[in-house]
Amino acid sequence: MDWKIFVSTFGLIFLAELGDKTQLAAMAMAARSHSPLAVFVGAMAGFGLLTLIGVAFGSLITRFVPEAYVRFAAGGLFILFGILILMGKGWK
């Protein structure tokens, strides 16, 4: 395992997800359900599955599309979603 990639991925995901709506939803679920272990396992399973899908799709798409294009498209989508959210045209 490449520890440099592991540490940088962990740090990026940890900081990016800190205080986001998923974390707030997990806190609310744990408070409401009084079953923090079930909430933890459910949240980890859901996030793990989403991460697995993202990693699999990312690995697959780079076989057919150059990495630079994938990075450009991802950056463009982040900017587009940010603009739509700022304009109040997010999904409802």
> For residue 58, which amino acid is it?
G
Task: Say how far apart CA 57 and CA 55 lie, in whole Å.
Answer: 6
Structural domain contains residue 11? yes
Structural domain contains residue 92? no
Task: Say how far apart CA 35 and CA 91 lie, in whole Å.
Answer: 31
Task: Say how far apart CA 1 and CA 15 lie, in whole Å.
Answer: 22
Where in the sequence is the domain holding 53, given as residue range(s)? 3-86
Render pLDDT for 48-85 as a digit per residue (tens, 0 to 9): 999 999 999 988 998 999 989 988 998 999 899 889 88
Say whether pTM exceeds 0.75.
no
Number of domains observed in the structure of the chain: 1
Structural domain contains residue 27? yes
